[in-house]
Each structure stands twice: as structure tokens, then as C-alpha cells.
Structure 1
Amino acid sequence: MTLTDRSSDVVEFILNALDLPTSPEILDVGNLYEVLGQDFPFQPDMMLKAGGRLYFIEVVSRVASLDTIARMQLLRELWRRKGQELPEPVLVIAARAIHPREEQLAEKLDIQVIRLPWKPDLPLKHEYKPSKSRLTTEKSWKVVSRLLKEKSTSIRQLALREGVSYGWAHKIIGALIEQEIVERNDSYVRIVDVKRLLNGIAWERPMKNLQIAEVPIDFSESIPAARDISYMLERQKIPFAFTGYTSGGLYTGYAVRQDAVSLYLEEKHLDLFEEFFSGPSGGGIRAWIYAPDRDVFTDTRQIEGITIVSPAQTLLDLAGLGYSVMDLTKAMVDRYAAL
């Protein structure tokens, strides 16, 4: 991995803040799975080696949370359990902000905290390349979502329908079989534990990591808001697409949340969005804005005059919202084959 594989501004800032004794070697985080085992669902955003020390670095786009600290501590404990011959890692959290309680806890756990500059033009985690997680990368999700749609099919058909290699499809299905999410019967495979699948998605790709803003907007209901926003942004030729509660409700007919809308928008267009739509902070509803970590704008659909992400992306995003939307996520799973 080279510096150009990640946002160079962020990487350079972190390296300067660490004040390393020697020039660092940036490692491929994908190799972590080979050491820790295929069942381990978490990896740092960066790994580097310098001065004989190994650094695990997590980059947080906004405020570092207790969950961030817990995940880093879990990573260290699992690393230690793999054997005495492995070097003790230095844990680092790079975030725009951290609350005092979390900072004190990080200090007690010997986790170094780096504060990133609060600059709107500083590229952060949501602009990085997708992580090499097993289920939620763009390529992996093609296989998983196709299996959800087909219910029962062969690995070869999964590969053919989604345009991926047979070897890749076999690898993903093999990982799902090991986790008892999928079972194989002769040449056919099917998902047998949807709940475990959804939990795995929520762990690997939480939507909160992609959120870049929560904007109060001057509307009283979510559907009229989404329709007007779609109309105006399309005419400005700004890429966008509604997701989460908004697209999930439109696809399933499930009750749509009325106090908020959710949409993907590139960060460079955030100022314009706020100029067009922001309203008084004490009234109206809110727009939860997420920065895309993959191409979410190509395969969009229009329902009721609202531009929404594809069914596959909607399901992935709903799962990433966790237990708070589990009923809607399950409704999306039930309807998914027909969409």
C-alpha cells in the first residue's frame, strides 16, 4: 500500500502527529485477516510499522465514541491471543473530536488520540477506499445480495449473474457457510440465518461512520421534503440519492419516518445543500446526509418523484443502521426478491 491509496492529507497529518523515529512502512490491512483468522470482523483503517513498532490506526470522520475505543481494545486483545511472538501494537484513534470521558478512558487503556483539524475540505474516512471486509465491500455485497434475491441457487449462477469470478463467489459463500449464515445442499446454497447476516453487516459497515451532517430543513413531512429536494438537486445536476428510512419505506410500503430524510451526497455539495434547504434549528425535520463509500448514484430509481438508491444498496444501508430499524430491514428482506 502506498500513500496514494488513502487520502494523502489525512495520512500525512497522522504521520506528523505520531512523530515516528523512522520512515514508516504502510502495511496492507487485508493481511490482518490472515493472522487473526477469517471469523474476525474488524480491522483498523491503517497499519504501519516504524522503529520496530506496529501501529493500528482507526480514523473517525467526526467524534470518537465508546464503540470506537471498545473495538480497538478488542482488536488488541485478539491480537495478543494469537501468540507471544507477535509484536505488541500501538493503538491510535484519529478523530476530529472526542469527549472528555472517552479521552480519559483511551488514556487509561493506552490508546493514543490524535485530533484531526476541523476543516471542511479535509478528506476523511468516508472518502477512503472501502475496507476489505468480507460481506459489505461492493464486490462482496453483489454476491450476498444476489443470494438474498434468488433464495436458493448455485455458486456458479451467483458469479454469472453478478459478473464476478467463480473463485470470488466461492470465497464469499465459503465465509458465510463457516459463520452458519448459509448452508449448502449439493450444488445449491441458501441463507438460513438472516438475523446473523444483518448483524454482521451492522458490525462491518455502520452507517454512522458515513454520516457527514445532520441538517435541519424547512419541511414538516419527509416525503414532500424528499420530493422537493430531488426536484431541485436534479436540476442542479448534483449527484444524490435517498436511502435508509426514506428508500426503505418507499420500496416496502412500510410507514415512512416523518421527522427525517436520509440521503447520499458528496461532501463538496454540502454547503450548497444547506444554502438551499436548511431551516431553523428548532423546527421542521432533519436531513441525515451520508458521504458515499462506493458508486451509489448509477443504479438509482424514482418512486413518487423521489430519487432513491437501488434495492441492494437500501438493504445494505438499512442493515448498517442497526437495531433501531430492524422491523423495516426485515420488511425489506421479505420484499427483496420482488424488487
Structure 2
Amino acid sequence: MIKKESIEYKEILNYIKDSLGIPSDNLNISLSTSYEYYVSDLPLRPDALLEDNDTIYLIEIKSKATIDTIARMNLLRDLWLQNEEMEKRKSIQLVVAAKSFPEREKRIMDQLGIIMLKLPWTFKPGSNEQFVSKTHRITSDRSWKIVSRLLKEKKTSIRQLSLIENVSYGWAHKTVQALLRQNIVKRDYNHVSISNVDKLLNGVAWERPLANLKIDEIRIPFSGSMHAAREITEAFAMQDNMPVGFTTYTAASLYTGYGVRHDAVYLYLKDEHLDHFRELFESHSGNTIKAVVYRPDRDVFQDSRKKEGIRVVSPSQTLLDLAGMGYSTMDITKEMVSTYDSI
């Protein structure tokens, strides 16, 4: 273990502060004073403690994360929270900073809400490596829950984002830190808010281009998109375990009232249901519109809803998909962002 009085320890601690978004001039909680004062009867000692706004971070610094480390940290948190004054005063967040995280340990830490901070293999003074923002996808299912909730709430705490969306605090924290590093989110004490919508939408288009999920374009015998979407919704509602969900322009027009093109519908279908869709609706006549079919990369059907007789994916999924279409949908995407808190 690195000696706490060493230069390397101080450099690692500064690196951890930076990764957690804690100002470098914030007070370190002294292991020999505050810790002893609050929990002097505990038989466990973290390698470092940091305090920021309403959170105390209990930190372990290891070469490799292990089950033993995780178990001791979790026990330490449970014992710490038995102290009534500390429980009222601050929330407790566990952090393991290590150079290696085996897959099994990563899964367990995520389940327990423990923040993982990857240390560089060769730690160098002034290192600017941003592990979280380089590896943390803001368009993943759990991350996008946090992002879209932040758009709806405008300004809130990471803990509230975690609780409302039922996502672990550790994951919510990593997501916000990734956004902070990209200057998409700004921090005001213990609250965060979106500060650059354009940069967020551009990032989504780059990270999850919706075109990559397109599996087919099929001509269908309708003259208008809304009539087509209703007919398709009704047809699939009659089939057990055969979900459908309309997205992008089709869903956004229903959520916002924004006028859109009517020569196409956009929908999610599972691969195994594509032949059934073709059998019911494909047409080679002249009076047709286009059905653009996407393959779901997550459960897009679970939170779907019916609007005006049409089964549409959730507002969160619709916004993600619109942003994934890039510049061509920028007007309606921004319209949906501006009204998102009321949808």
C-alpha cells in the first residue's frame, strides 16, 4: 500500500478528487480527527475520506479490486450508517480506485452502487486521463434514463436522479461525471443541470446513430402516416407477444404537435416479426408510403403507450432516437427538448 505521506499518494488523491468532480481546494477529512470523532469504534479504516457538499466518500486505493475489498467496504458503510449523527448529516458513497477491475468484481460493485475509478497503470503527476468519459456511454439504457430525467427535472441532485429512475447512485454519478467532463452538464453545489443541449444531441448522434439499427424499408399501401400507424397498431395488438412501437417523427408529432412529413412511418419490430409485417402490409402498388423498421437494442416496448390509437415508444426513447438521426431532425428534436418537462 502507498504510504499516505508520500508524494504518489497525494497525486493519486488529487486524481481521485478530479475524477469525482471535487474541487481541489475542498477539505480532506482527516483520518486521525473527523473519522475518529464520528466512528472511533469501527475496526475498519478506509485509505482516504473526502467530503463534498452532501456526500462523504469512503475510498479504497488498490492495485486490483477484489471481493475482499468490496466486502470490507460494504461492511464499513453499514457500520458507518449506524452512527445517527452521520446518517442525518451526510450520505455515504463508496469508491474503489484501482488499476484493474475483474469482470466479476465490476458486476458486484455496480449492484452495490460502488464507484469504480480506474487508476493509470503508471501514475504520472498531472495526468489528465478521463477514464469515466472515455468509457461511459451516455446512450446506454441506464445512462439515458439519467440524462432524460435531468432534461425533465431541469436541475436536481445526483441522488434524486438515482432514486427517481431506480438506477444505482454509482451509475448515476458516473453518467453525470461523463457529462461534466464534456461540458454538457454544469454543477451548482450539489445540484446539476444540462448546460449545452446542442453538444448533448451531437454526442448522441455520434455515439448511437439510429441508422445502424435500421433493418428494412418496406412500402405499405397508405396515403398518410397517422392512418398507417393506427392500422399497424391495431393489427399487432391482435397478436400475442408481437410488440410494435412507433418512434422518431411518428411519435414526436404525437408528443409535441409539431408538423412532420407524412410519407413515412418509423417503428421498432423484432427481427422474427418482420416477415409477419411484410405479409400483412407490404405493397408494390403506386399509392404507398414508406415504413422504416428498426431493430430494438434495448426493451423499447416496456414503457410504450397509446396516443390517438397509435402505440408509441416512451418520450425518453423517442428523444434518444430523434437525436440519433442527427442534423436532419434537429428542429423537431429541439422542439421536443423544449417541451420535454411537460410531456
Fold match, TM over 0.5? yes
State whether structure 2 residue 269 is matched by structure 1 residue 250: no
8 Å CA contact 1:215–1:287 kept in 2: the answer is: yes
Between the aligned partners of 1:261 and 1:180, the Cα distance in structure 2 is 35
- Count of residue pairs the alignment pairs up: 221
Matched residue, 1:158:
161
Aligned-residue sequence identity (percent) comes to 55
Cα distance change on mapping 1:180 and 1:281 into 2, 3 Å:
farther
The equivalences for 1:46-195 within 5 A come to 133-195=136-198
Between the aligned partners of 1:150 and 1:40, the Cα distance in structure 2 is 23
Unaligned runs of 5+ in 2: 1-101, 107-117, 121-128
Cα deviation digits, residues 217-248 of structure 1 (max 9, x gap) = 00010000000000111112311100011001
Corresponding residue SS for 1:254: coil
Matched residue, 2:230:
227
Alpha-carbon distance, 1:283 to partner: 3.7
Matched residue, 1:62:
none
Unaligned runs of 5+ in 1: 1-26, 42-131
State whether structure 2 residue 262 is matched by structure 1 residue 272: no
Matched residue, 2:332:
328
Matched residue, 1:129:
none
Between the aligned partners of 2:133 and 2:173, the Cα distance in structure 1 is 19
Between the aligned partners of 1:195 and 1:290, the Cα distance in structure 2 is 25
**Rg (Cα) greater in structure:** 2
8 Å CA contact 2:133–2:181 kept in 1: the answer is: no
Between the aligned partners of 1:242 and 1:224, the Cα distance in structure 2 is 13
Matched residue, 1:206:
209
State whether structure 2 residue 221 is matched by structure 1 residue 218: yes
Between the aligned partners of 1:212 and 1:38, the Cα distance in structure 2 is 33
Corresponding residue SS for 1:255: coil
Between the aligned partners of 2:281 and 2:193, the Cα distance in structure 1 is 45
Cα distance change on mapping 1:34 and 1:303 into 2, 3 Å:
farther
Between the aligned partners of 2:330 and 2:319, the Cα distance in structure 1 is 11
Alpha-carbon distance, 1:166 to partner: 1.4
8 Å CA contact 1:250–1:256 kept in 2: the answer is: no
Alpha-carbon distance, 1:39 to partner: 8.1
1:208 counterpart letter in structure 2: A
RMSD of Structure 2 on Structure 1 (CA): 2.3
Alpha-carbon distance, 1:256 to partner: 2.7
Between the aligned partners of 2:167 and 2:132, the Cα distance in structure 1 is 23
1:244 counterpart letter in structure 2: T
Between the aligned partners of 1:169 and 1:298, the Cα distance in structure 2 is 21
Between the aligned partners of 1:182 and 1:225, the Cα distance in structure 2 is 39
Cα deviation digits, residues 224-275 of structure 1 (max 9, x gap) = 0000000111112311100011001110000132010000000111011011
Corresponding residue SS for 2:317: helix
Corresponding residue SS for 1:263: strand
Cα distance change on mapping 1:34 and 1:296 into 2, 3 Å:
farther
Corresponding residue SS for 1:288: strand
State whether structure 2 residue 292 is matched by structure 1 residue 296: no
1:157 counterpart letter in structure 2: Q
